[in-house]
Amino acid sequence: MIKNTKPVDTLFIYLLRLADSNLILSQRLCELCGDAPSLEEELAISNVALDLIGQAKNWYEYASELDPLKRTADHLAFRRDAHEFYNVLLVEQKNGNFAETITRQFFFDAWHLSILESLQDSKDERIKSIASKAVKEVSYHLRRSSQWMIRLGDGTELSHEKMQSAINQLWRFTGELITSDHLEDALERDGLIPDPRKIFGLWKHSIETVLSQAKLVNPDYDAWMYKGGKQGEHTELLGFILAEMQYLQRAYPDAKVW
């Protein structure tokens, strides 16, 4: 489906990648609502999830305008199946323990801030305005997750061990964040999205700065990586997330009053 797409479709799919990653991570974080380790974390996690949903809405609204099938933003979020979702695999991974939740968030935030900062220079005005809005929110997200990485990594022996184990487990999902495919290469040539090498540089810098401060070991960038999320090939986890997230909209399609 992705191959041989027209430029507009290419941008449409790229916007879905951004929106879907935001939405799925947000849904994962919402699972912790009422179940977070402390009240302050509960507030932080829910607020991060809220920011991500808001940004996803902005991307979906733009995607909806470019959609060849003319679907609405709500339809794109709640009525597509797992193979039509283009989020990165990292965000669909389970919350696990707090070390895993925070490490997943940190890897994502470091990428998210790098990509948003660079999208502010996009040739597309709409992308630019959505990114400049989101970039400020995401700086706060990265600040919070970095602080936790440092506090727990450089904490007790047990917290350090749990953090390192979370990093080692989730590292294999990070390759997808920083490698491009032909679709992204085409958009980059048109000046719509940044050079993936630039994103990799920015991402690597945040990861290395924080992990060294946290006294954690930085895994190998050449390690074997999972891929496919951006092309619609997911781990078995996404189906369960969608089943819960989309239940109402699928049971009562086009309902106007809830």
Of 62 and 107, the one with the shorter C-beta distance to other proteins is 62
Range 17-46, binding other proteins (CB under 8 A):
40-41, 43-44, 46
Of the candidate residues 24, 25, 29, 53, the single one contacting other proteins (CB under 8 A): 53
Tell me: does residue 133 bind other proteins (CB under 8 A).
Answer: yes
Of 24 and 130, the one with the shorter C-beta distance to other proteins is 130
Tell me: does residue 13 bind other proteins (CB under 8 A).
Answer: no
Tell me: does residue 50 bind other proteins (CB under 8 A).
Answer: yes
Tell me: does residue 47 bind other proteins (CB under 8 A).
Answer: yes
From the list 175, 176, 195, the residue with the least C-alpha distance to 185 is 195
Tell me: does residue 48 bind other proteins (CB under 8 A).
Answer: yes
Of the candidate residues 10, 21, 27, 55, the single one contacting other proteins (CB under 8 A): 55
From the list 26, 51, 23, the residue with the least C-alpha distance to 130 is 51
Taking the complex as a whole, how short is the minimal distance between the CB of residue 181 and other proteins, in angstroms? 27
Of 63-71, 123-131, 166-174, 191-199, the segment contacting other proteins by CB under 8 A is 123-131
Tell me: does residue 176 bind other proteins (CB under 8 A).
Answer: no
Of the candidate residues 52, 110, 149, 199, the single one contacting other proteins (CB under 8 A): 52
Separation CA 219–CA 222 (nearest Å): 9
Taking the complex as a whole, how short is the minimal distance between the CB of residue 162 and other proteins, in angstroms? 21
Of 51-59, 72-80, 95-103, 241-249, the segment contacting other proteins by CB under 8 A is 51-59
Range 136-155, binding other proteins (CB under 8 A):
136-137, 139-140, 143-144
3-state secondary structure the chain: CCCCCCHHHHHHHHHHHHHHHHHHHHHHHHCCCCCCCCHHHHHHHHHHHHHHHHHHHHHHHHHHHHCCCCCCHHHHHHCCCHHHCCCCHHHHCCCCCHHHHHHHHHHHHHHHHHHHHHHCCCCCHHHHHHHHHHHHHHHHHHHHHHHHHHHHHCCCHHHHHHHHHHHHHHHHHCHHHHCCCHHHHHHHHCCCCCCHHHHHHHHHHHHHHHHHHCCCCCCCCCCCCCCCHHHCCCCCHHHHHHHHHCHHHHHCCCCCCC
Q: Which residues sit at the interface with other proteins, rule CB under 8 A?
A: 40-41, 43-44, 46-48, 50-55, 57-58, 125, 128-130, 132-134, 136-137, 139-140, 143-144
